[in-house]
Structures are given as structure tokens and as C-alpha cells.
Structure 1
Amino acid sequence: MSAVYKWCGLAKAVKVGLLAATTAGGWSSVTLAAQVPAQQHSTVRSFDIAAGSLTEVLSRFASAAGAAISFDARDTDGLHSPGIKGTFGVSEGFARILGGSGLQAEPQANGTFVLRAVPATGSALELGATTVNAQVLGATTENSGSYTTGAVTIGKGEHSLKETPQSVTVMTRKMLDDQNLNTIDQVMEKTPGITVYDSTMGGKYFYSRGFRMSGQYQYDGVPLDMGNLYVQADSFSSDMAYYDRVEVLRGAAGMMKGSGGTAGGVNFVRKRGLAVAHTDITLSGGSWDNYRGQVDTGGPLNASGSLRGRAVIAEQSRHYFVDDASRKDQVYYGALDLDVSPDTTLGLGIAYEDVDANPCWGGLPRYKDRSDLKLSRSTCLDPSWNTWRSKRTTVFSDLTHQLNDDWKLKVASVYTKNTQAIKYAFASGAVTPGTNTTGMLGSLYDYDQVDYGLDAYIDGKFAAFGQQHELVLGMNASRANKDDFYSVAFLPQRQDVFNPDKSIPEPDDSYFIENSSRGGPVKSVTKQKGVYSTLRLKLADPLTVVVGGRVSWYSSDTDYDFLNAVPSQHSSTRETGQVTPFAGVLLDLNDNLTAYASYSDIFTPQGNYRSEDGSALKPLVGQSYELGIKGAWFDGRLNSAFNLFRTIQKDQAQTDYNSSCPSSDGYCYVNAGKVRAQGFEAEISGEVIERLQLLAGYTYTQTKTLDDIDTTLNGAAFNSYVPRHVLRMWGEYALTGALERFTLGAGVNAQSDNYRVSPSSGEKISQSGYAIWNGRIGYRIDDTWSVALNGNNLFDKRYYTTIGTETFGNYYGEPRNFMVSLKASF
């Protein structure tokens, strides 16, 4: 069978066909044929081919590309391919389709290709380096060996970093593994442009561009209201073992879920079933009895490869550099991906996480004059009975259907349930010289939250006016149910800061109820839903305009029952038909550089905050502007970005410390006037030179209060927690020659000074700037086994990660520590 086509403007006709030849003795040969000159192999074209069997995907690609490839059908029998989407040359397209299959497409002198097994000659390291250098990166990052990605999915569909008119950093699987980043806190601490601030209740607050990232999370693109609660601040107990990557957006995130806030968002993308059987086993041990074991295995579950599975089990047991603190994590994850048809794939996954900890929370106090107590870094002023139990179950599902060559439908949902039981006390109160004691504040929590999320959209291309354009139409919705009981009470004992008593008696639960300063049952239901659309118009070959918007509906109902004789309260918030626009323009300066500009609206409901008169606060609103230039080299294996940003925000909820309200912290809130944040960011990620992977980002941020109800604050820094200068950098180099089995990694986290203003005295409590250096040495023993030594804070810098007040909240950074990891891959 044959047909005649014109391809890529060639004047001559070429013969395209599927020549399936003989079948004899169980042996078959397949040739997917179209005679194309060899020089055309590098010609770049756009492809969008759905997942399917490897034979089928090769056939579709060869036909679309006008390429000829011959192979033994036994080599592809039972193998699956994730398909291909994006702009590639013919050779690059074959490389991506065959990635991880153990096969490669060898170009022939006559312009055709032959499918052969990847040669087994040479050392494993030499093969690994060759694979990375020849690889065309996609959105999935595991086994890419790269610190960058070919596509991001925090928006809808897949687009390269250069095609995305906002600032996005991707923490790839290799980056997470190389630095032993196992929690969301650790990931954010190493992400360019992000500042992490410790909560006294064990969680972490994340800041971007001067503003707090309040619960802006996605699972596989499905937005949820995770975090953003006093029990866990902006973080939560999620292990990174079953994620492929973490995509971090800086800047307004209104297109994510409408009430998107100012600072950005985070998308956790999970691991999927594997088309080729593979297993990783990792054992680690390090300072302060820190031990971790992890098994990650997967592969095809039927002969055709249409059903693929994945299982991850991880367990970690550790102590900390502070006295008597410990934590044990257990993680179980399973996933199935089924090709229901050549055009339809169903994905299912479930994760269970269990945390059992004896934490040291609250940080350290200071002297009344705000000077440092200069305590040992191992000092913990908490009693030994502190307890934190957290259990989380998460269920994932998604369905992807290729409607035709140009249009795709995706529907995804997430369900997660988190229960936490917490009982703890920490030192609270400024220290008077000579007495050397401080008070003790205790808390009791019984916390349950259930979150549901759904996202559905169609993404497609259409031709008009001689150009190809893209349209996304979708809707998403989320629901968060919280059922909480908490109580905060001062204990009768005092703590000696220089000779802490770990055996302070544990009060009965009834003590917290009878002596509560604030607390009680809190129940709330928060619902969000919206419709959205994004249109990418190719106005000319170098010029693309992106316009989008979301119409959002938001409701929140909360019931408070208080223990301290305060009447019960009900708060309700409704926002209807709120429009959040987005616009961007991209101009290709040449093959490698693209200039861009973007604008986003900001809208975040704040009705659950109450002013002193009991009324709900107005929504936070504002505008975000960004102007920059992005670059991509070596087929996208190296990406760079530089941008200027400015954000204007109005009416953010701020604590009124001169008030008293029945809230989680006992204070009322006010809409805080007008604030400006501006600065610039520079980032580079990927293969800078051969064998060197690098992620480096520098951020300059300036915040300023333009108009505030307290006029003395006008002109002052709005957020003093965020340093003006932040540098995050990590690189790894694979040695050559006689040392080819070794890899060397090194990095630094550096920042300028920051400070906190004391709520009692109004004076600054400052932290000088610092730089923390880390390193890694890796050694590949053979094709299966490798070992690595990680060292953190190599120069043993003494510093505070977080500056608190005179009363509490001052946290030391970790002293020098090491971790040895042994890994088997087969």
C-alpha cells in the first residue's frame, strides 16, 4: 500500500507506506518508509502523537515525519511509548519516543533509520553521558539525568519554559535525589526565589517575591486548598518519594484556581506506571541517626504493555540536632496506567503517609532587650512528651483522550484526607537576665481535613491566517472540609533556658480545656469553582500573544465554638463571578532567545478573617507585571531566564495586635492598605557544558508599604522576613578519564540580612546575611550499584534560619551533617 504526499515543501513526491513483509518461523520485519534526504533529519516540526504501543507510536511518527525506519517486530513487542508532543527534528523525535526502551534509531547513509539495541560496549557512565547529551527532554524528569525539563504542566497542556510567559522553576527528580530532598520544606528551601520561615507550630511559611504563598497547591494540575492553616502553615506532611518533579510558579497564580493569590503556586507531579520494568532500591544513613530506605519499582503488567504499574515504599527514622526530637515517616504509593484504547489512557493512584514524631517546636526566646541568649544549637526547651501524629491518604485519577490529531481531553481528580493529633508545649516569654527562666505555652489539636479537587479541559490546535494557534477550555472545582478542635493554655511551670527540664509533667487533656486562653471546635467548608480559557495566537512566526481568563465562584462557611465563654460565631463568605484576566506576549528574537511580557490580576477572598467589629474582610486584590527574556539551548537541555517584576497589592489581611478576637491567634484583622513589591530574577538550569548539570537562581526583592492604616509604616519595608538578595545554586559534574566513575556536586544557599520587628517594642531583631555550602561525591560501583556522600553546611556556619521575637520563634540552622546513600538500579 502506498500514497503520494508533499512533505515540508519538497517539490518532489515521496513514497510513504507501511511495508510489512514476511512472517516466517516467528520472525517478522517491519519497515515504516518514506525516502527523505538525510539533511532533512534536523528539520524541526510540530508533533502531537498520543501514547500507545511502541510499534504504533513509531508508525504514526514515521508517517507524520516522512521518515523510514526498519526493525525486527520482536524488539518492540510488548513495549509502550508515552507518545510525543512538541517541536522536534526527526532524529530528536525518534530519541524521545525510544527513551528508556533500550533501543535507538540509527541513521543510515540513504536517509533511512534502522532500529537497534543500545550498544552495551563501554562503561556504564559513558553510556549514561551519551544518553543525556543526545536526549530530547520532555515533561517527565525521572531518568532524564537533567536539572531542567522540556515542558512544564503547571498551566494547562505542555509548554517549554521558553514558551511560558511567567517565572517557573522545576525541581527535577535528579535534583531531588542528588540533594536528598524528601519533604516539601526541603524542596522549597532549595528552590530559587523562595524564602522559608518557620512556624512555632511545626509547619513552614513560604514566601515568593515578598508575599506569602498561602496554600496554592496542585496535584497533577488539580488545584486544592492545601496548607494555609495554622496547624501546618503553608507546608504539610508529604514525602517526595512518589513525585516525578515539583513545578514552582512565582508571581500571580490566579489562572490556577481563581483565588490564586500574589506569590505563586506549586504543582506536584506524581510518578506513573513504567513502560519498561525497572527497580531502584536506596538505603541511606547519616548524622543524628537519620536512616532511610526506599524501594521504587514498576513496569508493564501485561504482554502488550497497555497496563503499567508502579509501587513506591519508603520509611525514614531520624533524630535531629536538637535534644530529644525525633520523627518516623512511612510512605506507600501505588499507581496503574491503562491504555483503554490507542487514544485513551486511564491513570489511577493511591498514597498513604504516616508521620509519628516527638517534635521540638516553638524555637528559642531571647533576652528582654532582644539580644541573643547564645544557647547551644542542640538546645530544645520543650518537654519530652511532645507528640505529633499525622496520617494522610490521597487518591488520584485521570483520563486522557486524544480526540483527533489536534485536540485532547483531560479529566483529573484528587481526594486527600489528613488527620492530625498534636499535643505539645514550648518556651514562651522573654528572658530576664539573672532569672534565666521563661514561661511555657501548651497546645492541643485534633484536626481532620478532607479535600476534593476536579479539573477538566480540552487543549487543541487550529489553523487560521496561515498560522497555527492553540486554545484551552476548561473548568475546575475544589472543596475543603475541616473539622478541628484546638486549645491553647499556659502551663504553671517555668523553663530554665540554660538548664532545661525535659520532665515537665504532661497535663491531662482536660487541663487545656479548663485553662484555655483560646480554642474550641472549628468546622468549615470552603468551595471553589470556575471556568477558564487560554488562547495562544501566533500572529507571526516570531510573535505569540497569550490571553486568558477565569471566572470564579467562592464560598466559605465557618462555625466557631469557644472554650473561654466567648459566644459561638458563624462566618460566611461569598464571591460570585469574579473575573481574573491574564495576558502575555512572546517575541522570538532568534532560535534561542524569546522576550516576553505578562500581566495578571490578583484576587484572594479573605472573608474568614474578622475585623474588631465582627465584619468580614474584603478580598485581597492587585496586579502583577513581568518583563523578561528566556533562552533555550542544546535542544532545550539548557534553559535560562531573566525578568523584572512588579506587584501591587491592596487590602491584604494583617493582624491587629491592639485587638482581641476569638480567632486561632486571639487577634482581629484589618485590610492593610497598599503594598508594592518589585525586583528581578535570574536563573539558569540544565547542561551548561558537557557533563555539568546546574540549577542556579538569584533574586532581588524590594517590598514597600505605600499606604497603611498605621501611617508610621508608610515607606517602610512591607515584609522584612524576605531578604533583598537570595542565591540558590547547585551543580554536579561527571568526571572523565581515569575518574569517570566519580561525580562531584556542590552548591550554596546564600542570602542577605533580614529582620523582624518586635510587636512589643517596635524595635528590629536582625539576622546577618550568610552562605551555607553543601557538597556531594558520587561513585558508580558497577552497572547496578552506586554510592554517594552528601555533606551539608560544610563550614559549620552558626546562624538562625528564622528570626522570631523576644518571646519565641528563633530557630537555629542545622550544623554540619552528612548522609551516605547506597543505590541499586536494575
Structure 2
Amino acid sequence: MTTFDRRAAGVQSTLRHILAGAALVAMPGVAWAQTDTDTATAEQEKGEGEIVVTGINVPTTTSTGLALTFMETPQSVTIIDQKRIQDYALTGTKELLKQAVGLNVDDQETDRTVYNARGFDVINFQVDGIGLPLLANLTYGDTDTFQYERVDIVRGANGLTTGIGNPSAMINYIRKRPLATMHVSAAGYAGSWNQLRGELDVSTPLSDDWGIRAYGAHDQGDSYLDKYSHNRDLFGVIIAGKVTPDLTLTAGYNHQEQLSSSASWIGLYLNYTDQTPISYDRSANSSPPWAYWLNKDDEAFAELAYGLGDWTIKGVLTYKGYVGQSRIMNPTYLPNRTTGFYTGDTSEFETISNRLMADLFANGSFKLFGQEHKLTMGFSYAKGHVRGWQGRAVDTGCGLGCIVLPNFNGPDRYNPALPTYNPKAIAEDETNSLWRAYLASQINFTDNLHLVAGASYAKLKDEGYSYGQALNTSQGEFNPYAGLLFDFTSNLTAYASYTTIFYPQNYLDINRRQLAPVKGTNIEGGVKANLFNKRLYLTAAVFRSEQSGLGKLAGSMPDPVFTNFWYYEAVDKTKSEGFEIEVAGRITSNWELSGGYTKLALKDQGGAQTRQFIPRQTLKMSTTYTIPTLNNASFGGQLRWQSSTGSADMYPGIYTPVKQGAYTIIDLQAGIDVVEDVRATVVVRNVTDKTYFTSLIYGSYGIAQYAAPRSFTASISYRF
């Protein structure tokens, strides 16, 4: 790759895709019957003044595989819908998930992100309830949210729906589907640091029984970080309809491509070798101009659903392909304050990943002892293959892959000349498979007492090698799940749930032996209430998780072929416990409110604090007020607060651990209907211009990255 300024080409390519899709979906058709999976509108009038809040009353299968509403689910649930996404211009999943109650986003680097909840990493990401858990905790790039109707986040253990997992959270993206009536929306955005974005979404019936939807988006811009810029294209098309009166077919394809220039790798060293602090601007970026990271994601799926009375049998086949190419560099050690000497490690990488997932399941209801009950059962198989290549910089005197960087005290500290690289050699060849079988049911003993129970058996096989690490895992585990709910009234429900934990990990110890799988238990209990004729929902929960064998980063050592070998140690026991309070809905028909508070304690087997980069307290709130008589003018704000964080002192006298005090980030928005079907919106992020670090995940090595200062985004949209 010789140039990274592909913005014009990216715009033209995206417009061709969008216009082609728009031409396809503009084919004439009559009325098409809306399917059960179509998302509800932002609110619907029900009965006498009852307002149903989007998502809260829409059944979700994320937690158990059963179609359970918010009040029926014995776990904590957060739903972020399309209205919230549009109001606050949450166009990427990283920015969106920062607003989710109880979820932390550690984006220490520009293009690799770690998510955690309740003290543990989130590894389960699904689309419409289908997904293969991550064997590592990293996600790459930033996924465009324009392809989704809403995002469901269920906190707590999730082994029933995936077979393996942490007691953290499950994130389920609900994709757009064809609508029963003609729908067109288009939007344009402009913002700080030359941000530009365009969106187009078209859905139309093709006949009485068939519909099609196509969408596309182009997103580009520079950044508050020096030299960093991104260019992202998204295109997708979905067709759905009835093959017979009882058989429904849905199929779709989605493509996203993102190129980041000067992508950062690990962040900034905050001290010199003599431990004196280094003064930086918030815009400092240790990545050179010739660094880049390209991520391409392709997804195709087909599902058949057969209705048989009160039962539905569904089969889903999903393919996911990923291609990643990068040339990245990170400083390898602290700079010398006197001489300005320091070095960097740089390589060229290429990764190709393919995953195929097959799911077959049935769900429905049955009557027994005068009550109606729900049941789901299923089987799934997934297989993935990933290959990776690495070419390290030619040794110029300081080691393979090492380059001497310009004088740190000079003007070109982060602008080294492009080095010569060795040819890329195979460094990773990994095959993994996961199959699972599960059964779950909602048993209604009485009108007030309900049991949600089930079990899954999952077997994971992982073999091959990855950057000098041999992989050889073949583990199976049976995971029971039980949740009991009691309705004190139609507005107040108490619940308790229990499940076991099984999580194979591919970490290696200092002797390069693979750590054993993590095992443990998770308990949660709480109350849920609905107020104001089901306009506003409140929940309070307590939780406790214990894990044995969780891998903890213990250090690193030079590797003769690849980058430094990072080794881990198994912690005998890690315990997380705490509570959460959450609210979602409307105080009045025009006043929306959502958010929550989380407090947790996270300790190792000796009772000492662990994973100190995770805040022990977080508060997230969002509110919007609309004035219908003033062209639907709306005013709102969202707030994120977290307690202080720190880093373990792993290398006394070498690295100074990074600490960060509590901070609050406030975003504001305002919108108005300029004319019918046309709306203008302005969002200001970090209104107080707070200076803070994005994460302290590398804080034990004296490394952190500054977060974005105050910025704005303005948009205008057209929908009918």
C-alpha cells in the first residue's frame, strides 16, 4: 500500500454501492406483510395512555434464548435504540457502548478495543442472537451502527446462549430488516476535525409477501490526534418474505471497510527513564505518518423460519470474513531525558479470518396445569480459521524489528523514516470450533411465580499456533442456569438467578504452557418495577461472581522471532461483587430518561485489589425533552462519570504506574424539525473540555493516551 489518502475513491465507491442498492429496492411492489422481527416504532399508544418504550417491551432472546421481555428476564438489561443513536450521533459502536450502563470501553489504542463489565472482559458479541465468542478480548476497528436497529446488552453470565463466557455482559446487535411499507431516510453530518458523513437507507415492498432493504454509509475525518484519520464505508442489503404461508426466508449481505492512517499502538510513555514526567499536548500521537490499519469485514446470512401453530423452527447459516492489513509501530522503551534516545518496534501484518456458523433451534409455548409456558431448544456449530503473517523491520543495529527513533527532544520525535521490512512470514495459523446444545424454559407455576431454567453443553476445540504460542485446547463443559421471578404486583417483580462459568483461555504462562480454562459461579438478584402505566422502568440488582484460574498479565520477555512474549499467571480465585441501579423510559410522554449507577469490588485470592484500571463506580445518565408544539424541538444531555482508577506497580524503579482521578464527561444535544420530514440536530461532546486518559489498561508500564477534547457534530436528516 503506497497511499492512504483514499477519501475521494471511498466516497465514489460508497455512492455506487448505495445507489445500486437504492435502485434495486425501488422496484415497484404492493403491500408486504411485516414480519415478527420488525422493530417497533419509538413509542406506541396502547390503551388509555399507556406508552410502550422501545426495546423495554420488545421481547429479546439475548439472555436465555427465550423471547422474554425486560420484566421477564432474570438479569440486568440495557437497550439502546435507534432514536438514541440518532439523537446523539452514536455512529460507531465504541461511542455507543460508552453510554451503556455498567459497561467500560478501554480504547487505549485507536484501532483495538477491550470492553469489560462487572470486572471481567466482554467476549460475547452477537448479531440477531448469533455469534462465536472471542478467544481473545480484542475487537478491531470501529463498527458502524447504521446497520442496526438497536443494541441489547445483558449483564451477568451468559453461558446458556453461548456455551462459554465471562460473568460480564452479552452484546447483541439487532440488524435492520425490510419494512412493511416504503421507507427512505438520508442524512448528512459534519463536525470537528473535518468529520464528514453520509447515510442512505431505503426499504420497500416487492409484493404482498416480499420486501427488500438496502443501506449504506460513508464516514471520514481527521482527529484530535496528530496525523490520525479514518475512512469508513458500509453497505448492506437484506431481502425477506414468505416462500409459503408458513415458511419465511430472510437473507442478507453486509460489507464494511475502514482505513485508519497513523493508527496508534499502545499509546504514550508518560515518563522519562529517570521517572520525571513528560509534558504532552492532548493531540500527541506516537504513531508515525506511514503507519496504517485496514480492516475489512464481510457478513452473509440466510435464515429459514417455519411456523407450526404456537411453535417456530428456525435455521440460520452465517458466514463472516475478515481481512486486516497494518503497518504499525510502538516505542519500545522510555525515552532518555538527557540524550533523547529511544527506540521503536515496527512490523507489517496481514490477517485473514473466516468463520462459518450454523444454528438450528425451535421455540414456542405449551399449556400444562392451567398455565402457559415457553420452551426453546437448539443446536449450533461454528468453525473458524485464522491465518496471520508478520514482517518485522530489518535489523539496523538494535535488534530485529527495532528502529532507532529521532531525538525525542527534537521536533521530529514521532516522524521516523519508513524502514525496510523483511518479507512477511506466516506467524499464526489457528483453527477453532465450538458446538453446543441447549434447552431452556419459562415455567409459570402460578400467575405470579415463574421459573426460567435451562442448561447447555458446549465443547470448544482450538489448535494451531499464534505468534510463537502453541495452541491445543479441547474442553467441554455442562452449564446449568436457573432464574426465579415473583410478581408482587403487576408493576413489581423480584428475581434471583444462578449459573456456572466456563471460559477456555489461550494465555500462556512463563514456560509457554497454556492456562487451564476458567471456571466459577455467578449469582444475581434484584427487583424490577414499571411506573406511570409502563412508561418508566426501574431495576436494582446485586451480583457476585467467583472465578478460578483467570489469567493475569505477569510480565514480558524478549522473543527471538516475534514481538515480546507476554506471559500470564493463573489467579487462584477472582471475586467480583456489587450492585447496580438502572432507570429507562419516560417520565412524561415528552420527557425521556435512562441511565444507571454501578458499584463493584474486584479482588484476587488474597483479598487485594486487582484489575485496578477498571473503575469501581460508574454513573451514566441520558435525558431528552421534546416540545411537540415547537416543531418537535428537543433538548438533551448525557453524562458519564467514573471513580478513580490506577495501575499495579509491577516494575518498581523502572515504570511509574499511571493513576487517574474521578472525572465526568457531559454531552449536549438539540434538534428541531426544519420542515416536515426534515430534522436538524447538533451534538456537543465533552462540553466542559475535560482532560483525561482513555484507559489505564497499560498503566503498569507508564503508558496512557489522552481522550478527545470538546467537539461538535451537526446533522440534517430526511425521513419518510
How high is the TM-score relative to the length of structure 1?
0.78
Q: What runs of 5+ residues in structure 2 fail to find an aligned partner? A: 1-28, 393-400
Q: Equivalent residue for 2:198?
A: 293
Q: Equivalent residue for 2:618?
A: 726
Deviation at 1:426, TM superposition (A): 2.9
Within a 5 Å distance, the mapping from 1:198-217 to structure 2 comes to 198-200=107-109, 202-214=111-123, 216-217=124-125
Within a 5 Å distance, the mapping from 1:203-282 to structure 2 comes to 203-214=112-123, 216-226=124-134, 228=136, 233-282=138-187
- Choose which of 29, 33, 38 in structure 2 pairs with 1:80: 33
Deviation at 1:693, TM superposition (A): 1.5
Q: Distance in 1 between matches of 2:531 and 2:580?
A: 19
Q: CA 1:358–1:808 in 2, change beyond 3 Å: closer, same or farther? A: farther
1:158 aligns with 2:67: yes
Q: Which residue identity is paired with 1:492? A: V
Q: Equivalent residue for 2:214?
A: 311
Deviation at 1:407, TM superposition (A): 1.3
Q: Distance in 2 between matches of 1:639 and 1:371?
A: 51
Aligned pair count reads: 677
Within a 5 Å distance, the mapping from 1:791-806 to structure 2 comes to 791-803=684-696, 804-805=698-699
Contact 1:732–1:746 (8 Å) recurs in 2: yes
SS in 2 for 1:273: coil
Q: What runs of 5+ residues in structure 1 fail to find an aligned partner? A: 1-75, 86-95, 101-127, 139-143, 514-518, 563-568, 707-713
Deviation sequence 1:159-205 (CA, Å, 0-9, x none): 11110001121111111111211222112211110111124473111
SS in 2 for 1:695: strand
Q: Equivalent residue for 1:537?
A: 443
Q: Distance in 2 between matches of 1:497 and 1:642?
A: 53
Deviation sequence 1:792-815 (CA, Å, 0-9, x none): 001111111213447564111110
Deviation sequence 1:572-631 (CA, Å, 0-9, x none): 11113x10111100000111111000001100112x333344433211001010010112
Q: Distance in 1 between matches of 2:48 and 2:338?
A: 68
Q: CA 1:487–1:689 in 2, change beyond 3 Å: closer, same or farther? A: farther
Q: Distance in 2 between matches of 1:206 and 1:663?
A: 26
Deviation sequence 1:543-571 (CA, Å, 0-9, x none): 00111100111111113575xxxxxx743
Q: Equivalent residue for 1:814?
A: 708
- Choose which of 653, 667, 674 in structure 1 pairs with 2:573: 674
Deviation at 1:129, TM superposition (A): 8.1
Q: Distance in 2 between matches of 1:528 and 1:621?
A: 17
Q: Equivalent residue for 1:385?
A: 290
Within a 5 Å distance, the mapping from 1:270-419 to structure 2 comes to 270-302=175-207, 304=208, 306-361=209-264, 362-368=266-272, 372-404=277-309, 406-419=310-323
1:471 aligns with 2:383: no
Q: Distance in 1 between matches of 2:145 and 2:641?
A: 24
Deviation sequence 1:60-86 (CA, Å, 0-9, x none): xxxxxxxxxxxxxxxx9725233599x
Contact 1:529–1:552 (8 Å) recurs in 2: yes
Deviation at 1:534, TM superposition (A): 0.5
SS in 2 for 1:177: helix
Q: Equivalent residue for 1:571?
A: 471
Deviation at 1:135, TM superposition (A): 9.3
Q: Distance in 2 between matches of 1:759 and 1:195?
A: 23
Q: CA 1:594–1:130 in 2, change beyond 3 Å: closer, same or farther? A: closer
Deviation sequence 1:23-47 (CA, Å, 0-9, x none): xxxxxxxxxxxxxxxxxxxxxxxxx
Q: CA 1:599–1:624 in 2, change beyond 3 Å: closer, same or farther? A: same
Q: Distance in 2 between matches of 1:697 and 1:133?
A: 29
Q: Distance in 2 between matches of 1:370 and 1:448?
A: 41
Deviation at 1:234, TM superposition (A): 3.3
Q: CA 1:663–1:441 in 2, change beyond 3 Å: closer, same or farther? A: closer
SS in 2 for 1:472: strand
Q: Equivalent residue for 2:661?
A: 768
Q: Which residue identity is paired with 1:156? A: G
- Choose which of 417, 420, 445 in structure 2 pairs with 1:508: 420
Q: Equivalent residue for 1:486?
A: 390
Q: CA 1:401–1:665 in 2, change beyond 3 Å: closer, same or farther? A: farther
1:454 aligns with 2:358: yes
Contact 1:147–1:693 (8 Å) recurs in 2: no
Contact 1:609–1:669 (8 Å) recurs in 2: yes
Q: Distance in 2 between matches of 1:132 and 1:756?
A: 51
Q: CA 1:272–1:560 in 2, change beyond 3 Å: closer, same or farther? A: closer
Q: Which residue identity is paired with 2:528? A: K
Q: Distance in 1 between matches of 2:681 and 2:578?
A: 38
Contact 1:222–1:413 (8 Å) recurs in 2: no
Q: Distance in 2 between matches of 1:781 and 1:717?
A: 53
Contact 2:51–2:589 (8 Å) recurs in 1: no
Q: Which residue identity is paired with 2:504? A: P
Q: Distance in 2 between matches of 1:132 and 1:802?
A: 44
Q: Distance in 1 between matches of 2:567 and 2:448?
A: 52
- Choose which of 613, 621, 626 in structure 1 pairs with 2:519: 621
Contact 1:392–1:416 (8 Å) recurs in 2: yes
Deviation at 1:423, TM superposition (A): 0.1
Q: CA 1:187–1:820 in 2, change beyond 3 Å: closer, same or farther? A: same
Contact 1:601–1:621 (8 Å) recurs in 2: yes
Contact 2:379–2:438 (8 Å) recurs in 1: yes
Q: Equivalent residue for 1:746?
A: 637
Q: CA 1:495–1:471 in 2, change beyond 3 Å: closer, same or farther? A: farther
Within a 5 Å distance, the mapping from 1:41-120 to structure 2 comes to 78-83=31-36
1:691 aligns with 2:590: yes
Q: Which residue identity is paired with 1:522? A: E
Deviation at 1:719, TM superposition (A): 1.5
Deviation at 1:756, TM superposition (A): 1.4
Q: Distance in 1 between matches of 2:173 and 2:153?
A: 9
1:717 aligns with 2:615: no
Q: Equivalent residue for 2:101?
A: 192
Q: CA 1:81–1:493 in 2, change beyond 3 Å: closer, same or farther? A: closer
Higher deviation after alignment, 490-499 or 622-631:
490-499
Q: Distance in 2 between matches of 1:301 and 1:808?
A: 59
Contact 1:227–1:236 (8 Å) recurs in 2: no
- Higher RCO, Cα 8 Å, sep 6+: 2
Q: Distance in 1 between matches of 2:428 and 2:37?
A: 49
Deviation at 1:818, TM superposition (A): 0.4
Deviation at 1:471, TM superposition (A): 1.2
Deviation at 1:715, TM superposition (A): 2.0
Q: Which residue identity is paired with 2:695? A: T
Contact 1:477–1:527 (8 Å) recurs in 2: yes
Q: CA 1:817–1:386 in 2, change beyond 3 Å: closer, same or farther? A: same
Contact 2:406–2:412 (8 Å) recurs in 1: no
SS in 2 for 1:778: strand
Within a 5 Å distance, the mapping from 1:137-176 to structure 2 comes to 146=54, 148-154=56-62, 155-176=64-85
Contact 2:406–2:413 (8 Å) recurs in 1: no
Deviation at 1:341, TM superposition (A): 2.3
Q: Distance in 2 between matches of 1:749 and 1:169?
A: 15
Q: Equivalent residue for 1:420?
A: 324
| Identity fraction in percent | 24
SS in 2 for 1:429: coil
Q: Distance in 1 between matches of 2:703 and 2:228?
A: 17
Contact 1:381–1:495 (8 Å) recurs in 2: no
Q: Distance in 1 between matches of 2:175 and 2:141?
A: 16
Q: Distance in 2 between matches of 1:487 and 1:255?
A: 41
Q: Distance in 1 between matches of 2:206 and 2:110?
A: 44
